[in-house]
Amino acid sequence: MNEEIRKKSKGRRWAGRIILLATAIIVVVLAGSGCVRGLAPVGWSGGTATEGKLYVGSNEGRLVAVNLADESRQWSEALKPASGSGGFFGCSSAAATGGGLGCGTGSAGVAVYGTPVVAGDLVYMAGYNGKIYAYNKDTLAIRWVYPREGNMEPLVGGGIVYEGRYYIGDSDGRVHALDAATGDSLWQFTTGDKIWATPAAKDGTVYIGSFDNKLYALDAADGTVKWEFTAEGALITTPLVANGAIYFGSFDRNLYAVNTADGGLKWKFMADNWFWAQPVLHNGTIYAGSLDNKVYALKADTGALVTEFDLGSPVSSTPVVVEDKVIFASRKGVISAINTVNNQIGQLADLEAEVNGPLAAVEGILYVHTHDLTLHRINTANGAILRSISLKSQQ
């Protein structure tokens, strides 16, 4: 009996210690579980190919130039995080780096979401640290930075170069027009909420969606509003401008088609979840991937549903057209090709890696940038997976 009591007494003391330990473990687990669930920005930049090179923003916060012929790589200097970002665990929205305990999914640098753009001898890239960089296309040396001092709010959407100007929207809801050669600010326009969408431009007009539910048509020269269209949800997709219409998705689950002339609604089509990625147009048909796991083929002029394809997991990456095929990637890494002639779908490959960024294709090779700092290559003709290229810097 006494022995039993002594054991129980000792056990109670140990119980106290165990509670303390459990408290510490719970706190650490809470921290960890929060981080891996999308607290830390990682990035999903796509690639832009030109003159035998593919430019992509890596999860390390570098611009990487991949020579497509010999697979050699060139890295820019790593982007610097915005001061005071991240906190101890690097888990706040301002966390541009995996600072502190570096939680996240392996990103060790400033996240890059927008796909780099190439114009003339410069490559432009925007970072989550709220800065825009223009690099020399050959050396990847920085030509200019905007803003020159301090940081804007995080940049999630990419930029475009149109008629000598660079356009981008920031998380403070401002659209910036910069001189593409010098990085000097030309004009700014403020929307009612964050901008995470990449703009599109055609015929002297810049089109951009905002979290304030509006699509803005701005005069490319001075930023004055030509017209605006109000949806029932936030806009995050890059608009597709073609055939006198603008096609874009909204968080109200609709894909909209509005007239470029006056912003009048042509048609809308509702899915079961958001249209996150930019749609593509091919042979009079819009192909739009949705987070409801499906790709919808719609008549571009009426919005009538032609057919739909189930990819098994959400589609968040912008597809690419290769000859008569529209190639999609699901978030789980399954690459599928839709034959636009007979509207049949076939699986090209399964990368077994998360894919969120836009796809790129050059000379029959599909390039897919995944979260694990890898550039996957797939032969679009037969689906053969070629040797992947690591984007991890060796510096």
Partner 1 sequence: MNVWELIIQQPVINVLIVMTHYLGDSFGLAIIALTIIVNLAMLVLTLNQLRSTKAMQEMQPRLQELQKKYAKDRQRLAQEQMRLYKESGIKPAGCAITMIIQMPVWIALYQSIMLSLAVAPEGLLNLAKYLYSWPIVYSILPLNREFIGLNLAEPNFIMAILVGATMWLQQKMSMTVTSTDPKQAQQTQLMLWMMPMMFTILALSFPSGLSLFWAASSIVRIVLQYRVTGWGGLKRKAPAEAESDKKYLKFEPSPEKRSTDDVGADIVITDSEPGRSYPALPSKQRYQPGKDRNMRRRKK
The interface mask with partner 1, positions 249-288, x = CB under 8 A, is --xxx------------------xxx-x------------
Helix (H, G, I), strand (E, B) or coil at 35: helix
- DSSP codes joined into one string, 228-261: EEE-SS---SPPEEETTEEEEE-TTSEEEEEETT
Q: How far is the CB of 88 from partner 1 (least distance, A)?
A: 4
Candidates 91, 119, 220, 375: give the one binding partner 1 (CB under 8 A).
91
Tokens of 206: 């810049």
Interface with partner 1, residue 214, by CB under 8 A? no
Binding window for partner 1 (CB under 8 A); candidates: 2-10, 143-151, 162-170, 175-183: 2-10
* One-character DSSP codes across 271-340: -SS---SPPEEETTEEEEE-TTSEEEEEETTT--EEEEEE-SS---S--EEETTEEEEE-TTSEEEEEET
Q: What is the rounded distance in angstroms from the CA atom of residue 78 to the CA atom of residue 302?
A: 47
Please provide residue 200's backbone torsions phi and psi, each rounded to the nearest 5 degrees: -135, 155
Cα(395)–Cα(390) distance, integer angstroms? 13
360 - beta bridge partners? Answer: 367
SS3 49: strand
What is the rounded distance in angstroms from the CA atom of residue 81 to the CA atom of residue 96? 6
- Least Å distance, CB 167 to partner 1, is 20
Residue 88 touching partner 1 (CB under 8 A):
yes
**Residue 19 binds partner 1, judged by CB under 8 A:** yes
- Cα–Cα distance for residue pair 194/174, rounded to 1 Å: 8
- Return the range that interacts with partner 1 (CB under 8 A); candidates 18-26, 161-169, 184-192, 345-353: 18-26
Q: What residue has token string 């003709």?
A: 381
- Nearer Cβ to partner 1, position 253 or 325? 253
Q: Which stretch binds partner 1 (CB under 8 A): 64-72, 182-190, 228-236, 260-268?
A: 228-236
Find the shortest distance in angstroms from Cβ 33 to partner 1.
7
Closest CA to 92 of 78, 80, 82: 82
**Residue 33 found at the interface with partner 1 (CB under 8 A):** yes
Q: Which residues, in sequence order, are CB contacts of 193 under 8 Å at separation 6+?
A: 173, 210, 211, 212, 234
User: Residue 21 interacts with partner 1 (CB under 8 A)?
Assistant: no
- 156 lies in the site for partner 1, by CB under 8 A: yes
Q: Is 87 in the site for partner 1 (CB under 8 A)?
A: yes
Decide: 123 and 135 in contact? Cβ < 8 Å: yes
Answer yes or no whether residue 131 interacts with partner 1 by CB under 8 A. Answer: no
Does position 100 interact with partner 1 (CB under 8 A)? The reply is yes
Please report whether residue 64 would count as binding partner 1 according to CB under 8 A.
no
Q: Answer yes or no whether residue 9 interacts with partner 1 by CB under 8 A.
A: yes
Minimum separation from the CB atom of position 319 to partner 1 (A): 17
Positions touching partner 1 (CB under 8 A) are 2, 5-6, 8-9, 12-13, 15-17, 19-20, 23-24, 26-27, 30-31, 33-34, 37-42, 44, 86-95, 100, 111, 113, 156, 194, 196, 211, 232-234, 251-253, 272-274, 276, 291, 314, 316, 356
